[in-house]
Structures are given as structure tokens and as C-alpha cells.
Structure 1
Amino acid sequence: MRPGVCKFGCEARDDVVTSGDRMFDSAYIRASSVNRALDVIGDRWLIMILQQAWFGVRRFDDFQARLELARSTLTNRLKHLLDHEVLVREAYSDRPRRYEYRLSVKGRDLYPAAMMSLAWQQRWAPPTGQALVQLRHLDCGKLTTPRMSCAHCAGEVDPREVDYALGPGAREIASRAPRRRRSTVEGQPATRTLVSHELLEMLGDRWTPQVAATAFFGLRRFEDMREALELAPNILADRLRRLVELGIFRTEVYQARPQRLHYRLTDKGRAFYPILLALMQWGDRWYAPAAGVPVILSHRSCGAVLRPQVVCSACGGLLDSHNIAPVAAAPSVARSQQR
């Protein structure tokens, strides 16, 4: 490999930082397209609205009835999704004028993230006392647990087998001022949403998934995370505490006086990786700068640039919004599966 060019063809050697390095420069961690995706959907009410849209809800009154959400809050969140072209509005009545809210192409492109979220929830955080949503793959007719694989070798994606390098769009994004987004950690979802509280905590707050994501870039220490995210110490401490309580991180003491901790991913935390990868893929597709994606992934197992895909656990076929159907199991079945 000639000097100044990374193995992916990126110019300027000082721009190339892989997961084998001690840590990414903080600006480039913030450049990840996961952050771009969370700018748009990192809010618990938005997550629940999108979930209902994936299940076929279209009308304002139906969203409100299912989510038990104040009209003003629902109006605000629907406007946000319309402004970002995740939903489109279509009239279904002229007198009086009434609209349906449907997923756009951009909204349907979030389906891989939705499927991997459902798979994580089923395995690690099923909603207590609620029906368990399962998926049927229409192509093979079997119930499926979505899994993420490499499009090149079909091997299952393991975060420990993924390397990172800065892409051609990294400089442009790193030079932008970081956006400050709202955070919504308050409030409880309606019991009929079929989304577990843990999943909402992980995705419905702007900082929690970003703190978790730093671990996949090799960060372990409080100060490294704080510098990378430019996050106030009290906010970072709160999110780390909650991630430990949720079982996403475990702690190890690396210095006794004063006590300093490493935060390391558990199996449950590593299982969250496909969700972040799907969000990164969505952010790359819809928000990457003209120069190209900011971060390039390679699959160490096969050596190819990683292009993740969501496949059926039963037959290995590709899953998308057109060939799967949700199936709600009885609440008693959901409880038995939690045991």
C-alpha cells in the first residue's frame, strides 16, 4: 500500500484511523452517521410513532388513541417527521379535509433498524406483560428472528470482527459545529405500544446510544468518552450509570486511588451493535456529504468493505418491508418466552 493512501483508497494517511488505534479523534467519532440518524429520530415519541406507522397506522386519531399522546405533542412530532421527509401526508377526505401519514421511501429505509431493534428486544428486553411481536418471512413462510450479515460473505456481523477507517466525507462533517438536539428521557409509553421500556431508553434519548456507540470505537474511560462526545460530565455520568443498570456496560477498576473505571460492553451491549450499524447505514444513505461517507467499515473475516444486510434466520433470504408480516403472540406466550 503506497504512503498516504489507506486500504480503502482514502487520501491522506493522517485521516486514516482504524479500530486498532487507541481511539478516534473526537471530531471524527462525532462524524459517524449514527449521529446524523439520531438527529432525526432520537426521541422516544418519534420511535413510537414510527413503530405504529410500520404496523399500518395512518391517521392522526389512531396514532393518538394507540399512543395516548397529547394532541400538541403528536402534532409536533408528526411535523418533525414530515419536515425530514420520513413521513408523507396524503389526503383521504376532502370534506372535511383529512390526511393520512404514510412512510416515505426514506422512512421505509429505516426498516433494517426497526427489524434489528425488534430482534434485540425479543432476546434481551421483551416488554413485560405485553404481547410479543414476531415476524413472519413471507418468502419462506416461517417465523424469523432478523439477523445482520455481511453482503459479501454472508457471515454474521460481530463488532469484534469489524475495522473502521475514515471515509472521504469525514473532514466535511468534522468541520461542522455539533448540533444540539432535544432529549426525551421523561415519560412512560402507553402499554399498547409493544416497545419495551429498555429499548426506548436506548433509542429514545439522544445521548444514550451515542455513549454506547463509543465503546464500539474502542473507548473505555470516562474522560475519553467525554472528550469524544463533548458531553457535560453530569450527563455522561448519568448515562453511564443507566447503561450499567441496563446491563449494556460492565465496569472494571483500572486505578484504585482515586478510583477510575473502564466501561466495557456486555453480551447484551454487543448485541445492540446491529441496530447502530443499521442507523449508520441509513445516515450514510440519506445524510452523507457529497464527498462520500464519513466512516468506512471492513469485515475482517472476509476482508471486504462491510455492507450489512438483514436476513431471515430460517432461510437466509433478505428481509425488507415487502416480505415480512408482524405476528402478535398472546401475552401469556410473551411471558413464557421471557423465562
Structure 2
Amino acid sequence: MIQNNPVSHAIDVVGEAWTMLILREAFRGARQFEDWLSRLTIARSVLARRLKIMTAAGLLEARLYQTRPERYEYLLTEMGRDLFGVAVMLTLWEQDWSPRADPARAVRFMRRSSGEEVRPIMSGDDPTRALSPYDVMPAPGPNPDFAPRMKAMRRRRVQPAQRGASGPIELGVELFGDYWTNLVLAAAFYRIRRYDDFLSKLDISTSVLADRLNAMVAHGILEKRRYRTRPERFDYVLTERGLALYPVVLAFFAWGQRWLCPEDTAPVILVDRVIGAQVLPRLTDALTGEVIDPRSVRAAPARTHADRTQAASG
């Protein structure tokens, strides 16, 4: 279930750092080739290749806007727009939990029609309460052997050029933009803790596993806990920062289930830990319980602590 589930299949389509950065800028209004070129530290050839791949995958639609010379703009399709939940959850996690976060770039989400604040969460049956890893658990779906068309596995780490000249890329993009980190993170949410268990459950080499575990410990996603002294052995346990990634995982799960696992073919589903009923994660507004349509909200600069305090007292 670790390697054949809606999350892993979603990652096969969009879990590559450049793809995620291009999608991020698309949600911020990028449409034309030069838009991405000016916003990202990316080579023209790499950008052209990624846009072509994303168009073929159905995430973007190319529309001719100039004939001489021929120029195209790239618009999010319905499939691409539906990744809004992933983009929002990554943004919120980065702001709240990443040591690389820039407070000056923090955002909040507002309704376009009224200007009222929206508080996005990944929810279940109660649309005003965020799902946690303690609420649900994975279970075999109606077709455990089903696997959608698979992309080539992206097993390389984020390349130095992708980190940008002004500093490293967002930590969330680095984590979810690396195939092996995703796999190790998935196993951690499946309660795999020990090195030998990671090795036996995943199709991964010892050197790659050690590298990813060490990196996730360094990033504060996992914590090492000694359970044996001779020889020395450790558990790798999700920290509070690591557990806070769960809404991102849920957003990937929901998108992968909708677009890559047709009805009654899902290899894995989520079920309520208490009653065993299936749970379908959704992006909703915790303040109203309404499902969030990406076209109905906009990002705005986050209020400062002083602004929030003044608003609360008023």
C-alpha cells in the first residue's frame, strides 16, 4: 500500500521540483513562457520540456496567442486547477513550519466576492475540522491491484540549479519534489520506524535510504530515538513538523483518487479509525464549511501580529 496508492500515483505525475514550482507560479498568474522564465531560476530548455510534459499530462492547456512568431500561453486545465489544495497546503506548511520561510512573503486567503478571510483545511465528514493522522487510516480499496499509467520514477535529488541563485527553494517543494523522500515519508506515515523495516518495505538502496533519513532528520521532519545500544540502533519517528505535513499528503491523496483512480478502482482508501467508514478528504473553509473553489479565492499579504491583535481586540 505504500507504493501503490493515490498519493504515490499523484507524486508520479507532479512530484518533481520544477513541475511543482511551475504549478505554483501558474496559481500566481503565470501564463506565458517569459512569466516563468522571469520568476524561476530555470533554463529555457528545461522550462520548455516541463511545459510540454505538463501539457501532455493534462495539467496545462497550450493556447496560441500570437502567430508571427508563434507563441503560446499555458493555462491550467480543470485537472491542473484541482491541484490548488496541494498548493495551498504546501504554502501554509511552509509559512508555519519551514525554517526557510520568509515572513515578508506570507499570505492568507480571501474570498474574491466579499473580501472575507478563508481558512483552508483538508477535512472529512465535518467540513469545519481538519483531519489528522489519528482520525483515519489506510485500508485496501475496491481494487488493490489497480495501478494507473505510471510516469518514470523521479529518483534524483533536487539539483543545485533548482535551488535558485538567491538561496534554497522552499523546503516543502524540496521534500515532495524528490521521489525517494516521498517514499520514505509515506512509509513513516504508515508507522514504519526502523531502518531495516524501511529497507524491507521499500525498493531502495542502503545508501539512498541512509541519505534520505539523514536529510529528513536534519530538516526536523524525523527524529532519531535510540532503542538499542549494542549495536546502536534507532527509530525514526515523525516530529511535530513532520506530522504537520499530513494535510499536504491528504491533498495529494484526494487529487490522486479523483484523477488517477477512477470510481471503484482505488487500490487504497482512507477509513475512519472508529467506525471504519470511508473518508473522502476535501479542501474546505474551516470558518464556513464550504468546499473551496480555487477561482473564488485569492491570496493576499498576511496580516502582521499587531494587525491580528488589534482586529481581535476591536
1:236 alignment partner AA: L
Contact 2:64 2:71 in 1 (8 A): yes
Q: What secondary structure sits across from 1:88 in the alignment?
A: strand
Per mean C-alpha deviation after superposition, the further-off stretch among 91-100 and 303-312 is 303-312
CA drift at 1:259: 1.2
> 1:183-231 CA deviation, whole Å, 9 max, x = no partner?
24122444799x9521122111111122111111111111211222211
Structure-2 separation of matches of 1:95 and 1:272: 46
Where do 1:1-339 residues align within 5 Å? 28-125=1-98, 127-128=101-102, 130-138=104-112, 141-151=115-125, 154-173=128-147, 180-187=153-160, 188-190=162-164, 197-288=170-261, 292-300=265-273, 303-329=276-302
Query: Retained in 1: the 8 A contact 2:188–2:237?
Result: yes
Cα distance change, pair 313–262 in 1 and its aligned pair in 2 (3 A) = same
CA contact (8 A) 2:95 2:103 kept: no
- Partner SS for 1:173: coil
**CA 1:313–1:152 in 2, change beyond 3 Å: closer, same or farther?**
closer
The verdict on how the C-alpha distance between 1:235 and 1:213 changes in structure 2, with shifts beyond 3 A counting, is same
Q: TM-score, normalised by structure 1?
A: 0.81
Distance 1:103 1:232 in 2: 37
Amino acid at match of 1:256: T
| Paired residue type of 1:143 | E
How many positions carry a matched residue from both structures? 305
Q: CA shift at 1:88, angstroms?
A: 0.7
Q: Which amino acid aligns with 1:128?
A: D
Cα RMSD (Å) = 2.8
Q: Distance in 1 between matches of 2:134 and 2:79?
A: 30
Q: 3-state DSSP class of the match of 1:286?
A: helix
Paired AA for residue 110 in structure 2: R
Q: Quote how far apart the aligned CAs of 1:322 are.
A: 1.7
- What SS does structure 2 have at the residue aligned with 1:207? helix
CA distance in 2, matches of 1:45, 1:72: 12
Paired with 2:263 and 2:291, the residues of 1 have a C-alpha distance of 29
251-260 vs 127-136, which deviates more? 127-136
**Secondary structure, aligned partner of 1:263:** strand
User: Would the aligned equivalents of 2:127 and 2:289 in 1 still touch at CA under 8 Å?
Assistant: no
- One-letter code aligned to 2:101: P
The change in CA–CA distance for 1:264 and 1:329 in structure 2 (over 3 A counts) is same
d(CA) in 2 for partners of 1:251, 1:139: 48
CA contact (8 A) 2:112 2:297 kept: yes
Residues 119-159 of structure 1, C-alpha deviations (whole Å, 9 max, x = no match): 21121126237522321134663333421211357542010
Amino acid at match of 2:109: L
Q: Structure 2: state its 5+ residue gaps.
A: 309-314
- Secondary structure, aligned partner of 2:278: coil
SS of the residue corresponding to residue 164 of structure 1 reads: strand
Q: Is the 2:254–2:282 contact (alpha carbons within 8 Å) kept by the matching residues of 1?
A: no
SS, match of residue 269 in structure 1 = helix
1:236 shift after superposition? 1.0
